[in-house]
Homo-oligomer: A and B are copies of this chain.
Amino acid sequence: MGDVLVMLVREVMSSPAITVRRTDPVRRAIRTLYDNDITAAPVVDDSDRLVGVVSEVDLLRGEFEADPRATMLPPSAAPEPPPRRVMEVMTREPVTVTETTDVTHVIDLMVGKRIKSLPVVRDERVVGMVSRRDLMATLARPDEELRRAVVEALREHYPFGLSWDVTVRDGVAELSGPPHEHADHIADLLAGTVPGIVRVKHLRRGP
């Protein structure tokens, strides 16, 4: 059935990635994540090479664990520690993917291994980030938008026919219309090429 069935990281990743520097103070990194509405960021060195990943919980821990007594409400008399830097709280040697990694592998890493965010690298440079939220975005597409995408994909691959009715409910597409010798192939094609479609129901063989 060919490569058309494979969904690649470049189709779902956020790009360019919002990065933080290893020498950034924890507080600055908190603002970067918060302002950009992300839960983790790749960490780069002065040559823009990937050296780690830093997440919300790493940063919150960095802000609150510096001083065992430090909380949102530290006593003003506490000795003043130096501000902590991202490199002290980040995860080193993060798992990475490339733009051509199959999305199924990303799902294995995120759902199976509970990795939240994966930097996407090309030639040692960070070109994007793929997060749980990016997968959520794909799955959250409204049914009507998915329906239009399926109709468009059908038209693109079969410009000379296939006047099938298409309905989509909760990400499951149903095609109805006259029989077609490539019906199974078409169903596979749609499931593989329209992000957010998780299943294509067997075609009802009409008259």
Residues of A in contact with B (beta carbons under 8 Å apart): 5-7, 25, 27-28, 30-31, 33-35, 37, 39, 56-57, 59-61, 63-65, 70-78, 80, 83, 103-104, 107, 110-111, 114, 116, 132-133, 135-140, 142, 170-172, 184, 187-188, 191-192, 195, 198-202
Contacts and interface: CB of A to CB of B under 8 A. Distances in A.
B57 A132 contact: yes
A67 B27 CA distance: 43
25 contacts: A25-B170, A30-B136, A30-B139, A30-B140, A31-B140, A33-B136, A34-B136, A34-B139, A39-B133, A57-B110, A57-B111, A57-B114, A57-B132, A60-B132, A63-B139, A63-B198, A64-B111, A65-B111, A71-B104, A71-B107, A75-B191, A77-B184, A78-B199, A80-B199, A80-B201
Contacts of A61: 111
Contacts of A116: 57
Contacts of A188: 75-76
Given A57-B116, A64-B111, 8 more contacts: A27-B171, A33-B136, A37-B37, A39-B39, A72-B104, A72-B195, A73-B103, A76-B202
Given A71-B107, A76-B199, A111-B61, A137 B34 contact: yes
Nearest to A140: B34
Contact of A138 (B57, B72, B192, B202): B72
Contacts of A71: 103-104, 107
